Amino acid sequence: MTSASHYSLLVVDDEPDLRTLYELTLLREGYDVETAATVEDAWSRLRDRTYSAVITDMRLPDGTGLDLLRRLEDTGRREKAIMITAFGSPENAVEALKAGAYDYLTKPVDLKQFRAVVASALGRPSAAPPAGVAASSAVPAPAASRGSVRAAAPAVVVTGGSGTIDRMAGASATMLHVRGMIEKVARSMAPVLVQGESGTGKELVARSIHEVSGRRAQPFIAVNCGAIPEQLLEAEFFGYRKGAFTGAAEDREGFFQAARGGTLFLDEIGDLPLSMQSKLLRVIQERAVRPVGAVVETPVDVRIVSATHKDLASEVQGGRFRQDLYYRLNVIQIRVPALRERLEDLPLICERLLERIAQDAEVWPPPRLTPAALGHLSRYAFPGNVRELENLLHRAVALSGGEWIDQADLALPDTVFAELTGPDPETLGVPASPPVAEPLILAPAAAPVEAAAVPLPSDLAAYLDAVERDILIRALERHRFNRTAAGASLGLSLRQMRYRMARLGVLVAEHGVAVEPDEA
């Protein structure tokens, strides 16, 4: 570990007394410290040298600490930034984290917390662990037998690399955005809320944030908040002391202590009861936990990433989720798209999943999907998203028993096919394969109805697209170009409405509806 003297810090504050206090505190820790009183004074020093971190007050005579953060971001500077904000201004703290700050402190500043945050930003060990915990090893997670920690990996110590983010297959615009957000938010301590339907890969996103961050060598603890009995929540999260309750025969650490120095992933955070939400809020605010039966709090250095499939804003409105906790957790939000929203990624996702399934089953080469099978999948709604796709492919590999997986091997339920028209399998880049399905024979009805005089379209797909485009435009015009209302009138969600509009090139212009020429 690099010694403290090798770290140089710039402290920016216009109050001489506070500036001196911060400087002396950091000098006692062995850091090389310089100070500045204004944004311009700080920037002139930054032009002359590079620092390990910049610690700045929010309010400065010639601007704000945010102005300094934006300059650091715009010029690609590598310094970690720590913001000091006035007490009772969480909106400033949130804005600072979104602007790229590593972390923030509120006034009056607790010097012990101040030293811990600086050490964390520099990747140095802070305060010594509590008595009885070895500093050289990760704290073991609570026993998985209670069903609260993911059985597959209750505590994961990652040694480096970014293998998890590579598992997020796809080159669609939505997935490129998700990957870009992961790379950006990994640099800070800002809490992240991952939202998405069940089976979209929210935990994969959380693990990726951990692996590309400076905490990748420390534990990643994944907790399913909905799987813990309410009466055990406090003990599981914060630990307990011997004799705290019947059955507490020894001291035991909780999830927060197990994740010390690393990342705590709170999956299905929306399932926490209100009583536990208030306790979680205090831990996040104070950065300290008090085990059940203890009289003092223990500082913890943990990065919080939470996830939910619920609309937490609606949960807040309904009184089922605390508003203050929602704002604390939702500093940065990453939405993971549903599989039906990125069907262009389907071929690559299937290829990756089949490779993994084949490796687990010791089958080589990995089976491949025929064009008919891939086309069949592309028209499916996937209510269970990627998790459901993986289960379908597992079953298909077992049923096919060969190199090719055909449509008949997929056994998809016809009742839940999507209304969305999937891409033409011939455009998905799937290699040609032998014919696999018998043609569908339509026999005449017993009492045939006289055929209509309307001629059959020469291009059915284009004809249906034109009909659907016309319906969308009429609905938008009827509802004053409100996509939500127009979609609801057609039995569509806003997400489905956006998908159809994008696919058919329908745009809401300033004074009406426009259609992209190449899509018309």
The predicted structure's pLDDT at residue 264: 95
Strands (E), 58-161: 59-60, 63-64, 80-85, 103-106, 156-157
**Burial class, 316, CB count within 10 angstroms (exposed 0-12 / middle 13-18 / buried 19+):** middle
The predicted structure's pLDDT at residue 4: 59
The predicted structure's pLDDT at residue 266: 95
Q: Binning pLDDT at 50, 70 and 90, where does residue 38 land? A: very high
Handedness of CA 127, 132, 138, 139 (dihedral sign): negative
Place of tokens 């994961």: 156
| CATH 1.10.10.60 residue window(s) in the chain | 460-515
Least confident range from 70-84, 156-170, 259-273, 425-439: namely 425-439
| CATH 3.40.50.300 residue window(s) in the chain | 146-335
Identify the DSSP state of 110.
Answer: P
Residue 407 has pLDDT above 60, yes or no: yes
Q: Binning pLDDT at 50, 70 and 90, where does residue 510 land? A: low
Q: Binning pLDDT at 50, 70 and 90, where does residue 516 land? A: low
The predicted structure's pLDDT at residue 258: 92
Q: Binning pLDDT at 50, 70 and 90, where does residue 152 land? A: very low
Higher-pLDDT residue of 481 and 147 is: 481
The predicted structure's pLDDT at residue 133: 33
- The CATH class that applies to domain 146-335 reads alpha beta
Contacts of 477 (CB under 8 A, 6+ apart): 512, 513
The predicted structure's pLDDT at residue 112: 83
Least confident range from 23-32, 182-191, 365-374, 453-462: namely 453-462
Place of tokens 């994740």: 259
Contacts from 106-115 at CB under 8 Å and sequence distance 24+? 109/22, 109/84, 111/21, 111/25, 112/299, 113/287, 113/299, 114/22, 114/25, 115/25, 115/26, 115/29
Residue pair 185/303 in contact (Cβ under 8 Å)? The answer is: no
Residue pair 345/338 in contact (Cβ under 8 Å)? The answer is: no
b/e code 442-478 from CB counts within 10 Å (16+ = b): eeeeeeeeeeeeeeeeeeeeeeebeebbeebbebbee
User: What CATH code would you report for 4-122?
Assistant: 3.40.50.2300
The predicted structure's pLDDT at residue 360: 81
| CATH 1.10.8.60 residue window(s) in the chain | 339-427
Distance CA 474, CA 513 (A): 9
CATH for 339-427, among 3.30.70.1150, 3.40.50.720, 1.10.8.60, 3.90.79.10?
Answer: 1.10.8.60
Highest-confidence segment of 314-318, 451-455, 510-514:
314-318
Count of residues for the chain?
520
The predicted structure's pLDDT at residue 159: 32
pLDDT tens column, 320-356: 999 989 988 988 899 999 998 898 899 999 998 998 8
Q: Which CA distances in Å does 272 have to 221, 309, 313, 328, 476? A: 17, 13, 15, 15, 40
The predicted structure's pLDDT at residue 36: 93
For residue 163, give the 3-state DSSP assignment.
helix
Distance CA 235, CA 120 (A): 26
pLDDT tens column, 495-507: 788 888 888 888 8
Higher-pLDDT residue of 139 and 267 is: 267
**φ/ψ of residue 479, rounded to 5:** -105, 30
Q: Would residue 382 be called left, alpha or beta, if left means φ above 0 and alpha means ψ between -120 and 50 degrees?
A: left
Residue 517 has pLDDT above 70, yes or no: no
Mean pLDDT across the chain: 79
pLDDT tens column, 410-463: 877 654 444 444 444 444 444 444 333 343 344 444 444 444 456 788 888 888
H-helix segments, 260-310: 274-286
Least confident range from 6-20, 99-113, 226-240: namely 99-113
Rounded to an integer, the average pLDDT of 179-195 is 87
The predicted structure's pLDDT at residue 443: 45
pLDDT tens column, 85-112: 875 555 666 777 777 788 888 888 888 8
The predicted structure's pLDDT at residue 513: 59
Distance CA 269, CA 356 (A): 30
How many beta carbons lie within 10 A of that of residue 509, not counting itself? 9
Residue 33 has pLDDT above 90, yes or no: yes
Calculate what percentage of the chain has a pLDDT beyond 90: 24
| CATH 3.40.50.2300 residue window(s) in the chain | 4-122
Higher-pLDDT residue of 198 and 6 is: 198
What tokens does 37 get? 């009183």
The predicted structure's pLDDT at residue 265: 95
Residue 34 has pLDDT above 90, yes or no: yes
Q: Binning pLDDT at 50, 70 and 90, where does residue 203 land? A: very high
Q: Which residues pair with 255 in a beta bridge?
A: none
| Topology of the domain comprising 460-515 | Arc Repressor Mutant, subunit A (1.10.10)
